[in-house]
Amino acid sequence: MEGNKNQNTMKNYAVYRVYRDSFEKDILFTNLTREEAMTLVQNAPNEKNSMVVFDELPRDMLWGIKADEYE
């Protein structure tokens, strides 16, 4: 249980908007805990053409962009 608590406080989540018609993604926030990401998604306004979701960040890639190119 102790290890699980530490895992949830790691800041390795991102919140992004996914457009329903094209599935394009806009990164809104990065370096969030799971709880922070969930709160942002739950409080995001509903939109007809897109949705706000969160996911764990890949270690070396960020949705097709290398990490050193993103910074």
70 touches 38 (CB < 8 A): no
Residue 71, pLDDT above cutoff 60: no
Q: How far apart are the C-alpha atoms of 37 and 31, rounded to whole Å? A: 9
Q: What does pTM read for this prediction?
A: 0.66
pLDDT the model gives residue 63: 54
How confident is the model over 9-62, as pLDDT tens digits?
Answer: 678 899 999 999 998 989 999 999 999 999 999 999 889 999 999 999 866 545
